[in-house]
Structure 1
Amino acid sequence: MRNREVAELLYETADIMEFQQIEWKPRAYRRAAQNIENFGEDIEKVYEKKGKKGLTEIPGVGESIADHIAEYLKTGKVEKFEGLKGKAPSGTAELMEIRGLGAKKMKKLADKLEIKTMSDLKNAVKSHRIRRLSGFGVKSEENIARAIENYEKSHSRIPLGKALPLAEEIISGLKEELKNGTPGLDLSRIIYTGSLRRLKETIGDIDILAEAEEADAGKIMDAFVSLPEAGQVVSKGRTRSSVILKEGFAIDLRVVPPESYGAALQYFTGSKEHNIGLRNIALREGYKLSEYGLYSKNSGERIAGKSEEEIYRKLGLEYIAPELRENRGELKAAAKNELPELVDAGDLRGDLHMHTDYSEGAESLETMVEKAESMGYEYIAVTDHSRSQRIANGMDIETLKEQWKEIKSLSKRFRIKVLRGSEVEILKDGSLDYPDEILKELDVVVGAVHSGFAASEREMTGRIITALENKHLDILAHPSGRLLGKREAYAVNFGKVFEAAAENGKVMEINCQPSRLDLNDELIFRAKDYELKFCISTDSHSVSDLASMRYGLGQARRSWLEKEDIVNTYPYSRLKEVFKKLRD
């Protein structure tokens, strides 16, 4: 379905017209765009059946706009609109979203200060050039600065670890609101979609999809825009509404009928590239696929739409898990019944990286063990920082041995197996932070780099490879060293690192901390080519962090990993054998 696509085209054209001070047309284009966005039928299908006349039956769409829509549906562009774009600065559409910065002000800023992009606007604010312009002043400049800040808040990427709980909170709040205000209204089929459902490491806007009959859609929209978390209502329609939360994130809600829920869920989950591939398969099979369902191209009969599973099945494909829908070969694999059996939360038997108050953790060793056991784990590794990490209260050898004694004592009281481990610093020369006589006494040695991030690629690669050649090292923790949004990965040749890890049988960590998610999915794919094994570990510093396992699991699933690829899915006896083999 191309309703949203056409609506976005009209919105953008309205912005450009307004910038060019065309008086009444922008309002008409925006009204048409809004009605198309909320229109209950596929606009492309309407045009195929009724031609331009069918388009003009949509409220707000007159003869001229209908001509433009028809041209776009046939050719993918509108010549008149292309001409308008050529006469306006490239950043016009983005600048038009700055609150309080109307077309006349934008025109003046472009003409007098050559402000054509968001970057130009920010620089002008920073250098106080706007306040010196006639008709603006200090107050106007300050308002523009605040508007830019709000815009960037609402358009910035959200880390998965923030977006997922936030979406779940909104869904839970919406269910509760409707339960109290509209008894009997069933909202059991409601879920976040888009890149969030595909568990990408960062998210743009949060999109939520709900199933309900048309008569109930309005009640759901009323409850949504009234949620306490909603700071600004951007739009409210019959089947779609959009708000900006008080903390600055944009969130959309769509409501679709039961017969279209599966089709809409598949469509809005994406990715765009996956959907294009799936749509092409549908066309080859004699169908048309849209967010409303799968239809016979000849008869127009709806073939499927209630669930995603039936859509994939009707197209001769295995069901494809959301995390795989990135156009990375999943459609071909599904056609051959060759999709991986993805690792699942229930497969995980333990956590091999966590901290206690022996170093920089917030909880006692006993508290962490007790919580892990309550989660049903078979084993954990306690891996507090080694001695050189003074900033993280790294343990000297005597303190480490005291911890071993406590582990032995706790092992008599708890069912769970507690492995003696350490997150050992990989020093600048590649040696490990404890002597061999200590390292060999540890059940698990997790090697990590926490310093010297500015080293050259040659230096860092050599440092890590030297550590990987040490027989006492078992796992390479957060291998790229990045912190999402704060620190780029250090320079390192991953081809050489993965080759050295494979030659020495080392395990690559998928760190679940939302600020890390390291290895990311692209590097996991590369590491798989070397037939490496992985562990999914939380790097927990408190009991609440143990729940972050799902974020690393998401990256593993996005990378096509199966249970056999992950060592912490193995029973305790087999895991011990893996590490024993590494030391031989």
Structure 2
Amino acid sequence: YKETIGDVDIVIAGDDAGPIFDVFARAPSVERVLARGDTKCSVIIDHGLQIDPRVVPSRSFGAALLYFTGSKEHNVRLRGLALRRKLLLNEYGLYRIGAEERGQEIASATEEEVYAALEMDWIPPELREDRGEIDAAKAHALPTLVELAQVRGDLHTHTNWTDGRDPLADMARRSCAKGYAYLAVTDHSPGLGMTNGLSPERIAARLAEAARLNAELAPFRVIVGTEVDIRANGALDYPDELLAKFDIVSASVHSSFAQTREQMTARVVGAMRHPLVTALSHPTGRLLEKREPHAVDLDAVIDAAVETGTWIEVNGGPERLDLPDTWIRKAIDRGATLVANSDAHAIEELEWMDLAIGTARRGWAAEENLANVRGLDAMLASRKKR
């Protein structure tokens, strides 16, 4: 779940790479084969992505998976720990120095076996960045990371009433089929003209539509919320009497990205101090490889979240993955509550919750750190006091 990748390594357990590479090279998406050897093949698929399948003996699969998962920084630390014990760690196994040539590995079949031989707990792949996870594993102090299966609902989605593709009924039924207890529909406010934001009349119609669906899908619950724009002057795009109609109010910046750090921070923190704002969505405003984060003081944002009880979103949109993982960990350490959302604009995009949870896990998030792993009543009760 790193934000971007270069190429893809696929580790395959097998004794004969030839037939595996034959099948792989004939895959419909493969445009050309760059190289082929005894244990590695490199191909280019559509969109220019390079994929490198690597075949290792079954007994070495765990060590190879650990090695090629990385990160480089994590692997360097592990190899250093091994060397201090007069051991050698590579993609084939953990050996006493000199024994690697004889194939006498101490551990290699599973990642768990390799970590245990180094006297530490298995480290989830999302944490392998040399950011304290090795010391935590040695001290048996790693967090129990949140799991996708623990998510009870999605609190940031859009429908065809604004800039989404699908009707609310389809979004709700898909969410219900996923096993969720609730779905918040958070169509846009009017200020961002291109999104056809909801007028007061359409808000009333949306509330009525949700009531009909709730009668049909009970005990599943459609929650009517909004993604309200934070205007350049810091004002919210709906008056309080309309904001009060929504059970979830997610405030977002969608314009005037070039404001100074002081202006943007005041704008965002001011919105978080509003008693009807539940959460801050995509806090940095970045679009990966397209738009840099806007200039906002995230330390001040975290302080405001802790002070006011405003949740900070971990947005699973592939271009966003926002809040970034390093800031997720800082927010958790300081006591802020997070909410992992898909920001889905179509039914298939509800699956982006997986990316939101993966990003949260990279930030060391546990179940207790997320609002939407709670049941409906507990989630609503944990909002800031209105």
The answer to whether the superposition gives a TM-score over 0.5 is yes
2:134 equivalent in structure 1? 331
Identify the match of residue 341 of structure 1 among 129, 144, 156.
144
Residues in 1 aligned to 2:202 and 2:77: alpha-carbon distance in whole angstroms: 57
Distance 1:299 1:223, change over 3 A: closer
1:557 equivalent in alignment to 2:361: yes
The question of whether the paired residues in 1 share the 8 Å contact of 2:317 and 2:356 is answered with yes
2:160 equivalent in structure 1? 357
SS of the residue 1:203 aligns to: coil
SS of the residue 2:274 aligns to: coil
Give the AA of the match of 2:314.
I
Residues in 2 aligned to 1:266 and 1:441: alpha-carbon distance in whole angstroms: 50
Give the AA of the match of 1:205.
D
Residues in 2 aligned to 1:221 and 1:382: alpha-carbon distance in whole angstroms: 46
Please give the per-residue CA displacement for 1:448-469, whole angstroms capped at 9, x wherever unaligned.
Answer: 0111111111111111111111
Please give the per-residue CA displacement for 1:74-96, whole angstroms capped at 9, x wherever unaligned.
Answer: xxxxxxxxxxxxxxxxxxxxxxx
1:229 equivalent in alignment to 2:29: yes
Larger helix proportion, structure 1 or 2?
Answer: 1
1:391 equivalent in structure 2? 194
Following superposition, which runs of at least 4 residues in structure 1 exceed 6 angstroms of deviation? none
Give the drift of 1:364: 0.7
1:572 equivalent in structure 2? 376
Identify the match of residue 283 of structure 1 among 65, 83, 102.
83
Q: 1:468-479 to 2 correspondence within 5 Å?
A: 468-479=272-283
Residues in 1 aligned to 2:270 and 2:22: alpha-carbon distance in whole angstroms: 61
Residues in 2 aligned to 1:447 and 1:583: alpha-carbon distance in whole angstroms: 16
Residues in 2 aligned to 1:219 and 1:348: alpha-carbon distance in whole angstroms: 41
Identify the match of residue 248 of structure 2 among 426, 441, 444.
444
The question of whether the paired residues in 2 share the 8 Å contact of 1:232 and 1:246 is answered with no
2:10 equivalent in structure 1? 208
Identify the match of residue 263 of structure 1 among 55, 59, 63.
63
Residues in 2 aligned to 1:283 and 1:250: alpha-carbon distance in whole angstroms: 33
SS of the residue 1:450 aligns to: coil
Give the drift of 1:530: 2.6
Give the AA of the match of 2:373.
T
1:484 equivalent in alignment to 2:284: no
Give the AA of the match of 1:449.
V
Residues in 1 aligned to 2:380 and 2:26: alpha-carbon distance in whole angstroms: 54
Please give the per-residue CA displacement for 1:202-260, whole angstroms capped at 9, x wherever unaligned.
Answer: 000111110001xx311011112222212121111111111112321111111001111
SS of the residue 1:422 aligns to: strand
Give the AA of the match of 1:572.
L
Give the drift of 1:296: 2.4
Larger strand proportion, structure 1 or 2?
Answer: 2
Residues in 2 aligned to 1:553 and 1:340: alpha-carbon distance in whole angstroms: 15
* TM-score (norm. length: structure 1): 0.64
SS of the residue 1:377 aligns to: coil
Q: 1:52-451 to 2 correspondence within 5 Å?
A: 199-213=1-15, 216-297=16-97, 301-415=104-218, 416-451=220-255
Give the drift of 1:299: 5.6
Give the drift of 1:403: 0.2
Residues in 1 aligned to 2:46 and 2:191: alpha-carbon distance in whole angstroms: 42
Identify the match of residue 454 of structure 1 among 258, 272, 285.
258
1:526 equivalent in structure 2? 330
Identify the match of residue 498 of structure 1 among 278, 296, 302.
302
1:507 equivalent in alignment to 2:307: no
Residues in 2 aligned to 1:228 and 1:441: alpha-carbon distance in whole angstroms: 51
SS of the residue 1:247 aligns to: helix
Give the drift of 1:298: 6.7
Give the AA of the match of 1:570.
R
Give the drift of 1:376: 0.2
Give the AA of the match of 2:295.
A
SS of the residue 1:413 aligns to: helix
Please give the per-residue CA displacement for 1:421-452, whole angstroms capped at 9, x wherever unaligned.
Answer: 00011112222111111212211000001111
The question of whether the paired residues in 1 share the 8 Å contact of 2:60 and 2:93 is answered with yes
1:466 equivalent in alignment to 2:270: yes
* TM-score (norm. length: structure 2): 0.96
Residues in 2 aligned to 1:486 and 1:280: alpha-carbon distance in whole angstroms: 37
The question of whether the paired residues in 2 share the 8 Å contact of 1:286 and 1:298 is answered with no
Identity of aligned residues (%): 42
Give the drift of 1:572: 1.2
- Which one has more relative contact order, counting CA pairs under 8 Å at least 6 apart? 2
Unaligned runs of 5+ residues in structure 2 are none
The question of whether the paired residues in 1 share the 8 Å contact of 2:305 and 2:337 is answered with no
The question of whether the paired residues in 2 share the 8 Å contact of 1:513 and 1:548 is answered with yes
Residues in 2 aligned to 1:497 and 1:547: alpha-carbon distance in whole angstroms: 28
SS of the residue 1:367 aligns to: helix
The question of whether the paired residues in 2 share the 8 Å contact of 1:363 and 1:543 is answered with yes
